[in-house]
Structure 1
Amino acid sequence: MDTCTALHKYTGIEDEPPVDAGAPFDRGDIILRSADNVDFHFHKLLLSLASSFFSNMFSLPQPGSFDDAADRTKHGLPIIPVTEKSVVLRKLLSFCSPVYDTDVPVLENLDIVMSVLDAADKYDMKRVGIFIVRMIAAPRFLEKEPMRVFAIACRYRSEAETLEAARYMLRFAVWEPAYVSELDFISGSDFQRLVKYHASCGQAMTQLARLWSTYPLPSLDCKFCRKKGVSRLSLKEYQDSVVEALRIRPSVESLLNPEWIDSMVKRAGSCFGCRRESTEDVC
């Protein structure tokens, strides 16, 4: 049993006949067969330009008698079986197309991002990998999974995206983000730099009080509150609360957090009138 046949048996693609991927992967001088038995026609030249792995492969002497090996050819074109599934291979080859600069392939989620990045790394497609990593700092990824974005950008040494993700992480306390598997691919020193950056930004927030002038709080001119003996929130209490909130989560988003605003409102007064005035001032 040759290597190609063994790979077919291992991936199970001999159980079902291969299907064509369709346009735009219906033309070329080579066929890449995915792990789920989808055939992608592509051009050797484009693969060689995008990947040193394939460039080296195509520069080697090719086995003869392709026409006599049905499992190695299709319509006279050589077949290269790969271990990636069609959904990943379609994205990867799209990035190798000369039109991807104007028609960028959609990466729906970070699982797809990682699968395509792993394939690009495997086939030594450096330019494709760099381009994909630059895409992960999009708000739709950062807002949903900032720690994963940080770890991926850090793993691929993309400085701008790593810093952008680290800045986004300031919205959280350093202990809040949950573990993600991508952290296994970065070093302890990489993670320590994130913690140190977070701590430095938090410490800088403690200097705010020195820069503040007087910020008057809403007057709690409420007979009910005065009768109940509710004292108004002092300027120092307000400033200390702001500094503490920003020390833990050094981002302006911390002061827009409904929980923090609610705590300020409750301390400012007990009746609806006071709470409404205080909410308007804080917001």
Structure 2
Amino acid sequence: MTSFASQVFARVDRFCRPLPMVLNTVLVFSITGEVSYLVLLEAPLDADQKKTVWSAWWKAAHLLAQYFMLGNICWNALLFLWTSPSIKGVFLGGEGMGQGWRYCYTCETHTPPRCSHCYDCNVCVLRRDHHCVFFGQCVGFRNYRYFLSCLLFMWSGLLYATLMNAEVFLVILKEGVTVHSVLLLLIPWLMLVSGQVSARAFAFAFIADTCVVGFLLVSAFFFFHLVLMLRGQTTREWYSTRRPYSLGLRGNLRHALGLRWYLCWLCPLIPSPLPGDGMNFEVTGPLESTR
């Protein structure tokens, strides 16, 4: 009985693991499609401006901006998934072992400082930050640049989409702050089921709400990791208030984003080699926790 239950749980777990990434992908492309529709068919609202040269350039600029952000999100996400942050293929041990090295009984090997075992990935990860549920992979030494860049363009894209959908909120609230308008903004699916709104109005209201909620969530993640990067910390080290590896603002940027930290965020295809090997770190403060 226990074996059957464990098999069922394992199958459900395998089925559910990719769901956050699938949902993320659907939402990103849905929001992009909706904003493209707003740009091409709904804006500008003045009918006299719809066929002007200014309107054509305005639409081209907006489409270029949003597909530049979409391309960066997709490329950074793919490179994040393709770049393994684990110890697989890395030579560990030898004379380089020193303070901070530990033995992982699961992987049966010595691991360097800032490396820890991930039970979701079932492997030790170099400079492990955390396991990202939305990507189904750990954030570590080699793929941190792509993770942070993806967050940057998701944040800017959701900010852009929220501003573009401001007209949707204005149209909904045009009738005033009534029970109907408030419910349409907060729970549009309930209004759709009750038959009080059309499918088109529901789609616009739902995506507009998704943009606002997504922007708030991504903002929290992005600015939290931005602070961690500038402080030279991982999420695990932030919990213990340790900053033993901080190299100053520029040094922390170089170690997180690579030697071309000032350019690499523009495009994931810009090469930006990391200055370290993920195993040896310069210690600039006490290794003991202050809590």
TM-score category by the smaller chain? under 0.3
For normalisation by structure 1, the TM-score amounts to 0.22
